[in-house]
């Protein structure tokens, strides 16, 4: 069981500050990989929370592999996000204020395979044709990426 789940046993669903990382994975056609989440059915980036003793880069690579089956060969720091825009209340009631470190990955290997528990679907999208139902805390990250690179 992960760090956050163990902490939840103590604090319940009260708001937590949750540090994590996400990956803006870009293929050779400059398309973004998005996943449709099982919890809220929105599209978003591969990513998740840090485990004890893990670096942000390690968390980004682990989450990318767990959710997509892909292994990042190289990650480039994009930006760090926090504040009111990164508050999220999960459908089951847990509340978090995310501190998210976003990485860009355009060098990866493996076969695309959705993570069984968290991912309904994986799909690459043209940066100008991103779905409208984006996970709330991924939206500002994707918007900033699109402004800089589309």
Range of the domain at 139: 3-149
pTM, to two decimals: 0.95
Domain count, the chain: 1
In angstroms, the Cα distances linking 123 to 33, 37, 102, 142 are 6, 12, 19, 15
Q: How far apart are CA 46 and CA 34, in angstroms?
A: 7
**Residues in the chain with pLDDT < 50?**
none
CA distance linking residue 62 with residue 75, whole number of Å? 12
**Residue 111: partners with Cβ closer than 8 Å, 6 or more residues away:** 69, 70
Cβ–Cβ < 8 Å for 40, 92: no
Which CATH number characterizes residue 21's domain? Answer: 3.90.79.10
Segment 41-75, tens digit of pLDDT: 999 999 999 999 999 999 999 999 999 999 999 99
């Amino acid at each position: 069981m992960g760090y956050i789940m163990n902490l939840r046993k103590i604090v319940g669903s009260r708001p937590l500050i949750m540090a994590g990382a996400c990956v803006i994975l870009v293929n050779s056609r400059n398309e973004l990989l998005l996943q449709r989440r099982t919890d809220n059915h929105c599209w978003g980036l591969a990513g998740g929370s840090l485990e004890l003793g893990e670096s942000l880069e390690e968390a980004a690579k682990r989450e990318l592999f767990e959710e997509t089956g892909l292994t990042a060969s190289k990650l480039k720091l994009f930006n760090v996000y926090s504040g009111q825009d990164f508050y999220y209340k999960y459908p089951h009631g847990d509340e978090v204020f995310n501190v998210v470190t976003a990485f860009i990955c355009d060098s990866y290997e493996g076969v695309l395979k959705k993570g069984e528990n968290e991912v309904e679907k994986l799909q690459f999208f043209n940066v100008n044709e991103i779905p409208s139902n984006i996970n709330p805390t991924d939206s500002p990250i994707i918007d900033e990426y699109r402004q800089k690179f589309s």
